[in-house]
Each structure stands twice: as structure tokens, then as C-alpha cells.
Amino acid sequence: MTILVLRFSSLGNVAMTVPILASLSARYPDDRFIVVSKKRLSDLFYGLPNVVFHEADFSYGGLKGIFHLFHELRAYHIDHVVDLQDVIRTRLLRFLFRLAGKPISVIDYGRTEKRRITLTGYRGEQLPTETDRYIRTFRSAGWEADTSFCALPINTTAQQSVRERYGTKQGQWVGVAPFAKHKSNILPYRQTRELIMQIAARPDTRVYLFGAGAVEIEMMRQWASVIPNVVSAAGQLTLAEELELMRSLDVMLCMDSANQHLATLVGLRVISVWCATHPALGYYGWKQQPDDCVQIPISCRPCSVHGRNRCRFRNFACKEINTNEIWEKLFH
């Protein structure tokens, strides 16, 4: 059978589909899984034999783009549609495939319960993880995934490119992804810079910086230019090369951002920092340890599912994290 899987964005959410699709690929070798997402994310599915990546090209705009994508996908002779996003574009595609007589399975995102927790604060409740929700959606469609995934296979071409750029590993390599999409998910810049300097000052230690966005890339470039033993990989590598560089690291420090999910795809241990958001909402990294999560227990957390750029109390108290705790988790 041919199963169409819809998950257009974002980077972190698409990365979280990989362990599930890897499991399904291994358990159902005679089936074919067509993953529809943004072109730049195709490297996330490297080495999965019966997973086919199809670029979601919306350059046509509006309904025309949806109809164009629908006609492209019909060429795969789809037997079942699995929607792992449930947004307007995927709903329109679902409608068209339903008219074509195809069965549909849709994720239950638990938006109501997530909204309730962001309004009342964390009270000890653990919601299903994003990957659990993916597993449940495929189960409702008739495919059973497991939790056997540990890491993507090595991309030898990307690995060689990384070695040519950064050399053979010596000592300890530490990754740091200091930024996130939302202001509420980022530690103060000065605090982050000082922590990076402390890490880079350890004997036989090199720090690699990861991230995206023009302003953030420039800031990391400047940090790397003045702090010894710090290298900025931000904006320098393809996604495949970033994954292979992460595979060479000993540990990754990141905010609640897509980088924690990329790191999990190569089996890397992640120390994640949570400010306005909370892992209890279900977005913790695949097989990461809860003890490696850094956060402070204040009653207004979480105030957002994914983060925000303002604080209703105007003090961002959720960012008042002692970096000594981060240091302890990184090196002890």
C-alpha cells in the first residue's frame, strides 16, 4: 500500500516524525510512505528505504498551489492519507483526497488541553508527546509503530564534507544552539555568551554554534571570531552536514528549539533549556532524559506552547536560570 504523510512544517515537528517513519519503514517493507514537506527538509529522511520525500511547492499560491500539489500526489496512487499537521492546507488536501474516495486519518493535537495549561500554569500533568500523537494517528490508520529508532544511518558524503571543513575530532566537542524562534525561549545574550566562553575555556574543548536567522548567524559569527576554540557552523552547512557534525559531538546544549530534535536523530545527548515553554506539553526530544532538562518552577509557566515574544508580567522571570546548573549537567 502507499500511504501519504502530510507534515509541512516546522523543522522541529518534521524532525519528530522521523523516528516514527523509520519504525514504520522497517516494520512494513512492502508499503511505501510518501512524506510531503518543505524541500530543505528532505535530508531528515536519509537512508529510510521505502520512504519517499515529495516537496510541497506552494509557489503557485493559494488554492492553485493546493490543486497543483494534489495532482502531483495523485501520481503515487495513494491508498491512505495521514495528516500529521491539521492546518488549512492539509485540510484542503484531505478534502480533495476524500472526494477521490481515499480514507483519511488525522492527528489529535490536544489543542484545548494545551491551551488550558498555558492559561492555568503547570500542575503536574504530562500530556502525550508529539511522537506519541504520531504513533496514535498511524495506529488509527492501521499501522503500528514502535520506539526502536536510535539514529539515522551515516550520510558518508556529508560526513566527509564535515571532516574536510573541521578536521578530525580531538578532545571534546560541545554543540551550543543559543537561539530560538521566540524571545521567551532564549536566555539573556550576555549570560549565554559568558557560558560559551566558560565552556570553550575547558582544556581540549571546542564549541560549535548552531542556529538560523540572519541576525543570529551574524551574532554567532562575531562570537566565534573573538572567543578562542569557538566555531560557528550557523549558515555554513547543509542540513545533512549539520546532522553529521552533530553526530561527532559529545553533547548539545540548546534552548527549546528545533536543534534538540535534530540532535536526537543522530543519537546525541541534549541538555535543553526551557523558559516560557514546558516539556510537559509534549515537545521533549526523542529518548532524551528528563534529568537533562533545565527549567525553574514558577507558577506562570508555561505561558505558551511554542514560545512568544512578550511576557504578560514584563519581566521574563522564566529566564532567571542559574547557568551553574547547566554547567553541572553538561560536565558532571
**pLDDT tens track for 236-246:** 999 999 999 99
| 103, 140, 212 from 24: Cα distances, Å | 19, 14, 31
Environment class of 33 (CB within 10 Å of its CB; exposed 0-12, middle 13-18, buried 19+): buried
Hey, how many other C-beta atoms are within 10 angstroms of the C-beta on 11?
Answer: 20
Q: Which residues pair with 172 in a beta bridge?
A: 205
Hey, how many other C-beta atoms are within 10 angstroms of the C-beta on 177?
Answer: 28
| CA torsion through residues 296, 299, 304, 307, sign | negative
Going along the chain from its start, the domains and CATH numbers come out as 2-141 (3.40.50.2000), 156-331 (3.40.50.2000)
pLDDT of residue 61: 74
Question: For residue 179, which amino acid is it?
Answer: F
Question: What pTM value is reported for the model?
Answer: 0.95
Give the tens place of pLDDT for each residue, 71-130: 999 999 999 999 999 999 999 999 999 999 999 999 999 999 999 999 998 999 999 999
The answer to whether residue 59 scores a pLDDT higher than 80 is no
Q: Which three cell numbers stand for residue 322?
A: 542559574
